[in-house]
Amino acid sequence: MASPMGSSSTAGGATDGTDDEGQNRPQNSRRYNRSTQHRFATDPKWSLATVIASPEGRKNVMEFSERMVKLFCGSLDMSGNMELQYGKNNNGVRVGIRRSIEAGVPKGLIVTASISLWLPLLPQALFNFFKDPSTRQQWDVLCHGNPVTQIQRISNGTFSDNFTTILRPYIPTENNTLLLQECCTDFLGSVVVYAPVDVGTITAAINGEDTTTMPILPSGFTICGDGSPPRGAFFGCALPESRHYGGSILTVTVQVLVSNQNAVGQFNMNTVDAVNGLAATTVKKIKAAFKYTKL
């Protein structure tokens, strides 16, 4: 899927966010939204600042989240991974393993499990489901059915569906884990990217420390339409009462650090199987939430 991070411009028009008459025009550019958020960070309407009081702290967390999204998009290309072959019971999950040596990513062996599927739902319906903290326990296996609490939300510009959140999952045995999540949508599609982070890391980011070397390992979803035309479309023109009857292509990607060792042979295959099962179980829970278990 093409990443919904590109910007749009009008042929022959201005490219600096204004039209030919100097008036602001709508932009579906994630980067434009972020620069707008930075510029107006002191305006309270741009952020629900309940935890991060300073504009600098919010900006630093946003930059941390933006790097997380870039790492996630890079993980979708498994060409440099050692791909693991499974039999007929792999549930359609593609699994690869790589050695991580770059800065800002946990060092060691990382397993990436990814699966794409079609669902008879509009892309916006899927995006709304994943971005809503109140429905997270329906699909996030690691929540164990427990709710999560949103403790901070930072808007990324003028579009209400583009935002960064800090979530606190209810894990009785672990009080130090938070979730950093980024939700982004435009005309190309949507992404919802998240990663577990400890309280100390988030606190350091809020306090303005350099986030470029803070290790983070994201998982998430990409969503796009399946290309079906609206019902009633005729020669490229939709009739007044047309309804979309197509669906969405959903890609679920899970990443887990399975070993601190650098040698590919030094890991437990059972752990890799667990990551494969995590992706497959997530898909089953998503289907169950929408009552599409027979797909």
Burial classification of residue 163, based on how many CB atoms lie within 10 Å of its CB (0-12 exposed, 13-18 middle, 19 or more buried): buried
Residue 100 included in any domain = yes
CA dist., res. 101 & res. 264, Å (int): 13
Residue 211 included in any domain = yes
Total structural domains in the chain?
1
- Contact in structure between 37 and 62 (CB atoms under 8 Å): yes
Residue 279 included in any domain = yes
Instruction: Supply the pLDDT for residue 115.
Output: 93
Instruction: Supply the pLDDT for residue 35.
Output: 47
pTM: 0.76
CA dist., res. 155 & res. 127, Å (int): 16
Residue 120 included in any domain = yes
Q: One-letter amino acid identity for 144?
A: H
Residue 35 included in any domain = no
Domain region containing 53: 46-229+244-289
With a cut of 50, which residues of the chain have pLDDT below it? Answer: 1-29, 32, 35-50, 87-89, 232-236, 238-242, 244
Instruction: Supply the pLDDT for residue 20.
Output: 39
- Contact in structure between 33 and 160 (CB atoms under 8 Å): no
Instruction: Supply the pLDDT for residue 287.
Output: 95
Instruction: Supply the pLDDT for residue 269.
Output: 78
Residue 7 included in any domain = no
CA dist., res. 289 & res. 197, Å (int): 27
Looking up tokens 């946003």 gives 62
Looking up tokens 């797909």 gives 295
CA dist., res. 225 & res. 219, Å (int): 21
Give the tokens for residue 214. Answer: 């803070």
CA dist., res. 130 & res. 189, Å (int): 14
Residue 190 included in any domain = yes
Instruction: For residue 264, give Cα distances in angstroms to 93, 102, 117, 260, 275.
Output: 20, 16, 29, 11, 16
- Contact in structure between 267 and 258 (CB atoms under 8 Å): yes
Burial classification of residue 269, based on how many CB atoms lie within 10 Å of its CB (0-12 exposed, 13-18 middle, 19 or more buried): exposed
CATH code, domain with 174: 3.30.530.20
Total residues found in the chain within this entry = 295
Q: What is the pLDDT of residues 236-291, one digit of tens each?
A: 454 444 454 679 999 999 999 988 766 555 567 788 888 989 999 999 999 999 99
Residue 237 included in any domain = no
